[in-house]
Amino acid sequence: IPVDPFDLVVFGGTGDLARRKILPALYRRFCAGQIPDEANIIGAARSEFDDAGYRAFVRDTILEFAPVTLCEDGAIDTFCDRVRYIKLDARGDEGWEALARIIHADRVRAFYFSVGPQLFADLAERLHRHGMASGETRIVVEKPFGHDLASARELNTMLARHFDETQIYRIDHYLGKETVQNLMAIRFANMLFEPLWNSQYVDHIQITVAESMGVAGREEFYDRAGAMRDMMQNHMMQLLCLIAMEPPAKFEPDAVRDEKLKVIRALDTVVLDDIVRGQYEAGEDKPGYLDDVGNSESTTESFVALKTGIGNWRWAGTPFYLRTGKRLRARTSEIAVVFKDAPHSIFGADAGRHANILTIVLQPNEGIELGVTIKEPGPGGMRLIDVPLDMSFAETLGPGAELVPDAYERLIMDVIRGNQTLFMRGDEVEAAWRWTDPIIAQWEEKGERPLPYESGSTGPEDALALMHRDGRRWREIR
């Protein structure tokens, strides 16, 4: 179903995010028939382009980043006809009058700040000055939303000068991933899991976001951020919130975000003993982190594993183990809910430990897997084995499932539709920093270097020990 006609301006329209994510996502929605003929997509940046030049740029971008099956010349041309370009200076006057002239006063207008946060204030102020900050205006801002609590607060205050909270869409693209949304469907549309979803039945929860790539291409940004700020404060935190939150009364923006906020506020403060920081070394013919960032002194972590808990009735006593890192063995992202053993084994001590594990797989093959214990087939007596009840989306949902929409498709369309459910609210982001800042402060005070780990491994040995000492173990990164 097409959305209503809209104007979408992408500030930073020639940048990396626009190329890799925003423009391909818009194109995919266009191919799905969701973008009406009257829609205006406007790239704005400092580069010297006219409309024709930018259309050629968009065309190349789509050929490079959109799925091959969607790349028909006719479709790309028709899409490009909707695209325009304004050369604009975020900190000066150039381009703003021209932009204001082509923006429609009577439609939804969305302004995507696909630029560094240092330009947010300039953009917001100029939108206001040139009459483009009315009630129908929505602004989209990307992470990193600040570097710590103080800077996040500053950004929130500054945006609030010109925009109401209902107009601000803070993106965490993990919330737009199909499986992440499915996590809410699993929890709140089935009777099976929710009665068991608490510390009485759940032994622990582990969340892994492992990446095989390094930091090449984003060295400068990453070396200032590190895994804690780049992944833990936002993506991992959001996954944890959705797993742990109470059922919201409705699937509506503030109902969902109120519940997430309560989780963040109830998180235990993490002590240094429960954190492992790592930095990758050379391996598999690839350079180490220090060479990648060209800074032999860097103490930035490319890996972090930690244990935390949630101080509320549902979760008291259930540990949450979180780990994320770059240049690990494989690109694997999953959330595993590990249930407790049955209280008594009628099959005797030899039957071993057989915990049910519900795994929500985000990568590489989105899907859901439930580990159940059954009798090993055959006449050999009562021997137990664990087998997965496997629901890989590609297999279960049939042809076309490999075209699972990219997170950005869903999120950009939600901006146009005016649905903030999958976007972070200002207080939520601040609460996440309030939890993150003391962790970083502790290790900065101690001044230890992160532990080295070999590229292509599963991270520092100490990360394994973090769970072993509790009699548990990480699931494999495969």
Which residues are tagged catalytic? 235
Return the number of the residue (333 or 420) whose C-beta is nearest ligand BG6: 333
Q: How many residues does the chain have?
A: 478
**Contacts (CB under 6 A) with ligand BG6, residues 7-36:** none
Applying the rule CB under 6 A, the residues between 137 and 156 that interact with ligand BG6 are: 143
Residue 20 vs 128, nearer CB to ligand BG6: 20
CB of 230 to ligand BG6, least distance (A): 5
DSSP annotation of 356 reads -
DSSP state of 404: P
Binder among 203, 230, 334, 366 for ligand BG6 (CB under 6 A): 230
Our CB check for ligand BG6 shows the closer of 209 and 267 to be 209
Full DSSP string of 408-442: HHHHHHHHHHT--TTSB-HHHHHHHHHHHHHHHHH
Contact 120, 168 (CB under 8 A): no
Q: Nearest approach, Cβ of 232 to ligand BG6 (angstroms)?
A: 11
Nearest residue to ligand BG6 on Cβ basis: 230
Q: How far is CA 433 from the centre of its chain?
A: 16
Of 6 and 222, the one with the shorter C-beta distance to ligand BG6 is 222
Q: Does 409 bind ligand BG6 (CB under 6 A)?
A: no
Residues 6+ apart with CB under 8 A from 3: 34, 35, 36, 413, 416, 417
Pick out the residues of the known binding site for NADP(+). 12-19, 46, 143
Q: What one-letter code names the amino acid at 232?
A: M
How far apart are CB 192 and ligand BG6 at their closest, in Å? 28
Query: Contacts with ligand BG6 in 186-225 (CB under 6 A)?
Result: 211
Backbone angles phi, psi at 217, to 5 degrees: 100, -25
Tokens of 273: 């003993």
Query: What residues are designated binding site for substrate?
Result: 173, 177, 211, 230, 326
57 or 303, CB closer to ligand BG6? 303
Residue 430 binds ligand BG6 (CB under 6 A): no
Q: How far is the CB of 194 from ligand BG6 (least distance, A)?
A: 27
Q: Say if residues 327 and 287 touch (Cβ distance below 8 Å).
A: no
Min CB(327)–ligand BG6 separation in Å: 11
User: What's the Cα-to-Cα distance from 120 to each of 11, 145, 275, 400, 439, rounded to whole Å?
Assistant: 10, 10, 33, 38, 27
Which residues contribute to the site for ligand BG6 (CB under 6 A)? Answer: 143, 211, 230
